[in-house]
Amino acid sequence: MTIARSIIDIAIAAAEKAGARRVTRVNVIAGELRGIIPLQLTYCFGLMAENTIASGAQLGLEIVPVSGKCRRCDETFVVKEYRYICPKCQSEDVQTVSGTELRVKDIEVE
């Protein structure tokens, strides 16, 4: 609910700043590690948008997989089943490089 409220607040503020009268769509990028359940976020987004200029707006959600970078050999790879092991050199010295993001990508308005 908190994430949905924040997305709505960001969208409304941007729309009002641009002089728009209605938000029609908000596209969000969310990392897999955020644990977002798309159906749940979409439902909460609709609830938070009610009685605002974002009422009836659609939520586009792009889930970004977890990627890691090996500190030993610099290999970048998609982390599968939360196994942070480099597929090239088998090192466990891996840094997470994506999968934690959460941001509004763009907002469509009228």
Is 92 in a helix, a strand, or coil?
coil
**d(Cα 108, Cα 70) in Å, to the nearest integer?**
38
Q: CA-to-CA distance for 45 and 4, rounded, in angstroms?
A: 5
Q: What CATH number did the domain enclosing 92 receive?
A: 3.30.2320.80
What does the pLDDT look like over 39-63, one tens digit per residue? 999 999 999 999 999 999 999 999 9
If one counts the domains in the chain, the total is 1
* Domain that includes residue 68, residue range: 2-109
pTM > 0.85: yes
How confident is the model over 86-100, as pLDDT tens digits? 999 999 999 999 999
